Structure 1
Amino acid sequence: MNERVKGKKVLITGASSGIGEFLAIHVAREGGTPILAARSAHKLEIIAEKIEEVFGIQTPWYKADLSNDAEWKDTIDRICYEHGSIDGLINNAGIAVFDNVVESNWQDIDRMLSVNVKSLFRTTHQLLPHLLHHGEGHIINIASQAGKIATPKSAVYSATKHAVIGFTNALRMEVEPKGIYVTSVNLGPVRTKFFQQADPSGKYEKSVDKIMLDPNRVARTVVDCLFTKQREINMPSWMDSGSKVYSLAPVTMEKLMQKQFNKK
């Protein structure tokens, strides 16, 4: 059991499946209390019951549509009222729809901005005063390698993750001197249901099948760094190396990687 996590309350958004579900399990395994939020009440209830049965950790959950700012704001207020101080926040909720900009549906664009960016800002903005009041805590934002290297058909998704990384880096400099850790998690493709919405054709998922990350391993890595000072988690490491080369020579990389960039 991780003594840093034991007894701590950690709010996890997008907790009804994939990485979010495994994050909840690993927080509980280390003796922490995961507080779950997502749209599916049925899935959240099942996860909470499983965690309570296996680890004996009472697991509160909240049904909320994070794309609805007013609803999510009220839910955060309720969480703070019912649980007092929150020790950690993992902004995990995120969606994507891969399409050329000219062919994109505005509702899809708006929803990506609302879930990936606005709800993350909202959650952080409302919880940050509580963390600062106690002089400790950890905010982890699940970003993406797409926030470092944009590719065709992911203009909006990449833009949302650029925003998350920029927000995370600035926030870190603001609050680390006050005792709050801030970490961005920049991931390549992860084997979850994410791609069922992002690319219903299944072509992109099939093209990256061999390099997909295991969501359980991702969650384990994230929880292992909870309440420690860590600027970034980059997975896989070779993709992070590629993003560094890209930042130095973007034109060359775009030419060399054109085939790979157009797999969506």
Structure 2
Amino acid sequence: MSLNNKVIVVTGASSGIGALTAQLLSQQGATVIIAARSLQKLQSVSSGMMGPCRMIELDVGKDASVQSAFEQILAEFGHIDCLVNNAGYGKFEYCDAMPVAEFAEMMNVNYMGIVRCTKAVLPAMKKAGSGIIVNVASMAGKLGTAKSTAYAATKHAVLGFSNSLRQELRDYGIQVTTINPGPIDTPFFHIADPDGNYVNNVKWFMMKPERVARAMVSAIEKGKAEVNLPRSAAIGVKLYQMFPRLADRLSYRMLNKK
């Protein structure tokens, strides 16, 4: 899909890969609606946009906020060509130490946020007979590790939702893409890993956000169903899926760095 003049909504666009992806999409000629809870942070992102840009306040964890935001977008632009569901967060903690309320809130934002935004665009996309929905999941959705019980569960849910949705929408001309990155050097870890232990342990393996943002834009242009990053992690996931118990034993110490 050529991105020129396409209307693209990016959630969680106030920082990290959301902000960079929005700016790259803008460079390709898209009209980009950047959405997040903080308009102040979005203002900073918008200054780096090369093409038409619209900021909108959006909390994906709240029904009313999602409904209001997408009603405004559709009223102004009439259609949405692509939705990038990027908003989300993580916290790393052992299961017995993580409050149940934190499990619920992480699921509300990371998974239900995607459900809310997707449902908000589907009627218009179905009517148009085209569209792309990009859901940012994670390698954690395919390979669980210690202290990720809450976070990994949300990303497993995103993958299950996306794979089923892809089948539902096949006859409507709507593409569903999942992006599954490993650790990325972004502000995500300010919340997920405030003491910095995990970041220090996997610094050698962490990807630059620019690499992931470029892969996301390429996936939109090429209509890819799934992107796994980095390639070495993708190979590891395939081996894990074929030999899960053996992989557990062999990879325990290497993967559990939190």
TM-score tier by shorter-chain length is over 0.9
The residue identity in structure 1 corresponding to 2:154 is T
Pairing partner for 1:175 from 169, 177, 183: 169
Provide the secondary structure at the position in 2 that maps to 1:98: coil
What displacement does 1:70 show? 2.3
In the alignment, is the contact (CA less than 8 A) between 1:138 and 1:227 conserved in 2?
no
Query: Do residues 65 (structure 1) and 59 (structure 2) align?
Result: yes
In the alignment, is the contact (CA less than 8 A) between 1:186 and 1:235 conserved in 2?
yes
Q: Deviations over 1:82-104 (max 9, x none)?
A: 22100001101110010011101
Aligned to 1:17: 15
In the alignment, is the contact (CA less than 8 A) between 1:10 and 1:87 conserved in 2?
yes
Pairing partner for 2:105 from 106, 111, 114: 111
Provide the secondary structure at the position in 2 that maps to 1:97: coil
Aligned to 2:79: 85
Number of residues of Structure 1 aligned to a counterpart in Structure 2: 258
Aligned to 1:49: 47
TM-score (norm 2): 0.96
The residue identity in structure 1 corresponding to 2:208 is D
Aligned to 1:5: 3
Rounded to whole Å, the distance in 2 between the matches of 1:160 and 1:180 is 24
Provide the secondary structure at the position in 1 that maps to 2:145: coil
Aligned to 1:162: 156
Rounded to whole Å, the distance in 2 between the matches of 1:241 and 1:120 is 27
Rounded to whole Å, the distance in 2 between the matches of 1:166 and 1:85 is 27
RMSD: 1.3
Moved over 6 A (4+): none
Pairing partner for 1:100 from 94, 97, 117: 94
The residue identity in structure 2 corresponding to 1:168 is S
In the alignment, is the contact (CA less than 8 A) between 1:48 and 1:58 conserved in 2?
no
Rounded to whole Å, the distance in 2 between the matches of 1:58 and 1:251 is 50
What displacement does 1:69 show? 2.6
What displacement does 1:65 show? 2.1
Provide the secondary structure at the position in 2 that maps to 1:42: helix
Aligned to 1:137: 131
In the alignment, is the contact (CA less than 8 A) between 1:11 and 1:90 conserved in 2?
yes
Q: Deviations over 1:39-62 (max 9, x none)?
A: 1111101211331xxx2x221011
Query: Do residues 200 (structure 1) and 194 (structure 2) align?
Result: yes
Aligned to 1:29: 27
Q: Deviations over 1:91-139 (max 9, x none)?
A: 0111001001110133322221111000100110110111111111111
> Structure 1: which 5+ residue stretches go unaligned?
none
In the alignment, is the contact (CA less than 8 A) between 1:141 and 1:164 conserved in 2?
yes
Provide the secondary structure at the position in 2 that maps to 1:175: helix
Rounded to whole Å, the distance in 1 between the matches of 2:126 and 2:221 is 14
Aligned to 2:144: 150
Aligned ranges 1:226-237 → 2 under 5 Å: 226-237=220-231
What displacement does 1:229 show? 2.8
Aligned to 2:238: 244
The residue identity in structure 1 corresponding to 2:7 is K
Provide the secondary structure at the position in 2 that maps to 1:60: strand
Rounded to whole Å, the distance in 2 between the matches of 1:48 and 1:123 is 21
What displacement does 1:227 show? 4.4
The residue identity in structure 2 corresponding to 1:82 is E
Percent identity, aligned pairs only, is 38
The residue identity in structure 2 corresponding to 1:226 is I
Rounded to whole Å, the distance in 1 between the matches of 2:172 and 2:102 is 38
Provide the secondary structure at the position in 1 that maps to 2:223: coil
The residue identity in structure 2 corresponding to 1:114 is N
Rounded to whole Å, the distance in 2 between the matches of 1:226 and 1:99 is 34
TM-score (norm 1): 0.94
